[in-house]
Amino acid sequence: MNTNKLVMLGFGNVGKAFAQLLLKKQADLNKLYELELQVVGIGTGSHGFIQNAAGIDLNQVLDVLDSGKSLDTIPSDYTPSNAMELLETCGADVLVETTPVNYETGEPGLSHIRSALEKSMHAVTANKGPVVHGYRDLATLAASKRRKFYFESAVMDGAPVFGMCRECLPGSRITSFRAVLNSTTNLILTEMEKNQSFEDAVRYAQSIGIAETDPSGDVDGWDASIKVAALVTVLMDYPLTPGQVDRTGIGGLTLEQVQQAKAQGKRWKLVCEAKKKNGELEAVVSPRQVTPEDSLFHLDGTSSAITVQSDTLGPLTLREDSPGPETTAYGLLADTLNALGYSFAAC
C-alpha cells in the first residue's frame, strides 16, 4: 500500500466536502491504486491548526467543527501557530488549498502555494486568485521542483475544463471561449423567470447557501471576471487580471426585462467571452439575451457551461448541471490523483 500525505488549508464548505469525499472514496483508492491518502495537517481561519504525522481522524474533525469547537480539542503531536509554520513542519506530499479568493492580490493562497512548491509538495487548489495573479511563476516553480500545480476546481467546480485542454488538446491553440460561469447569477435569473423579484431571488440564493451574505462579488460580475481571467491566463497564454475584463453585472436587469425576454422565447444569461482578434485579446462579462439555438439557453439554476474554440477542432462544449461543494471537492481529488501520477481506472 502506497501512502501519500496531504495538508489542507481552508476547511469551509469545500474543505469539509473534500474530507467527506476522502472518507467515501478511500476503499476505491485502495482497490484501484493500492493508495491511501492520509491528512496530516489542517489549517483553518477560525478554528485553528492541527498536525499529526500518524494521520488525522477526519470523522472527528468534521464532528468537532460541526459543533463549533476548535481543532485544538483533537489530540495532535504538534500545534502550528499559522499556515506557514504548518507547511514548514507537516511533511506532506500535497497541499490542498481552499482558502477564500482574493480578487485583487490572490493572497494568502498565492503565498501558501508558493511555499508548498518550494518545499517540494504538489499543490492543488480551488482558489482562483493564485491562478490569476501567479500562474506563470507558480507553474515555473512547480516544474523546477518536478511537482504539479493544478486548479481544476477554480472555474467550473469539478468539470475538467483545464484538464480537457491540457490532456486532450496538445498542440492546439485556444482562440476563444464563450460561457456561463457564475452559478449564483444563473440561479437568480432562473428565479426571476418564475416572476420573483431580483431581491427575492437573491434572498432565495442566500437561503440555500449559493449566494454570500454580500452577493456583490457575484451580481456585479467579479466572480465571473476572475474566472475569465483565469481561463485566459492559462488556456490562451495571455496574463489577464479581473480589472482588465470589460465587466457588467446583472444588477441593472429588471423583472420586467426578464419577463419580456421570456415572453419572446429568449432568456437573459451572464455571458463570459474571450477571443483573440488582430493580436489583441477581448474579454467581456455582460448580461445577454440568448435564443433556444444557443447552448447557453438551456442552463437552469446553478448549471454552467463553456464552449471552447481552437485552431484544430470545431467548438467543444463542456456542461455541468447543478454543481455544489461535492463536485468542487471531486475536482480537488482528481487534481491530487493526477499530480501523484494516478490516471483513470475503471472500477
Per the CB < 8 A criterion, the answer to whether 79 and 51 are in contact is yes
Q: In angstroms, what CA-CA distances link 279 with 132, 172, 283?
A: 21, 17, 13
Report whether 255 contacts 193 (CB < 8 A). Answer: no
> What average pLDDT is seen over the chain?
95
* CA–CA separation, 320 and 233 (whole Å): 22
Tens digit of each residue's pLDDT (9 = 90 or more) over 24-38 = 999 999 999 999 999
Give the per-residue pLDDT at 277: 81
Looking at residue 279, its pLDDT comes to 80
Q: Are 129 and 103 in contact (CB under 8 A)?
A: yes
Report residue 346's pLDDT band, with 50, 70 and 90 as the boundaries. low
Indicate yes or no: pTM above 0.85: yes
Residue 147 has pLDDT above 80, yes or no: yes
On the question of pLDDT at 345 being above 80, the answer is no
Task: Give the Cα separation of 194 and 327 in Å (integer).
Answer: 27
Per-residue confidence (pLDDT) for residue 62, from 0 to 100 = 95
Other Cβ atoms less than 10 A from the Cβ of 336: the count is 23
Tell me, what's the pLDDT at 68?
85
Q: Does domain 2-158+326-339 have CATH number 3.40.50.720?
A: yes
Bridge partners for 273 per DSSP: 178, 284
- Return the SS3 of 317: strand
Q: Is the pLDDT of residue 347 over 60?
A: no
pLDDT digits (tens, 9 = 90+) for 248-298: 999 999 999 999 999 999 999 999 999 988 888 999 999 999 999 999 999
pLDDT (tens digit per residue) in 157-196: 889 999 999 999 999 999 999 999 999 999 999 999 999 9
Instruction: Determine the pLDDT at residue 72.
Output: 85
Residue 338's SS3 state is helix
Q: pLDDT band at residue 93, thresholds of 50, 70 and 90?
A: very high
pLDDT tens digit sequence for 197-246? 999 999 999 998 888 889 999 999 999 999 999 999 999 999 999 999 99
pLDDT band, very low/low/confident/very high, at 316 (cuts 50, 70, 90):
very high
Asked whether the beta carbons of 74 and 56 are under 8 A apart, the reply is yes
Question: What would the CATH number be for the domain defined by 174-322?
Answer: 3.30.360.10
Per-residue pLDDT at 344: 79
The domain locations on the chain are 2-158+326-339, 174-322
User: What DSSP string runs through 289-313?
Assistant: EE-TTSTTTT--TT-EEEEEEESSS
What number is the average pLDDT over the span 74-79?
89
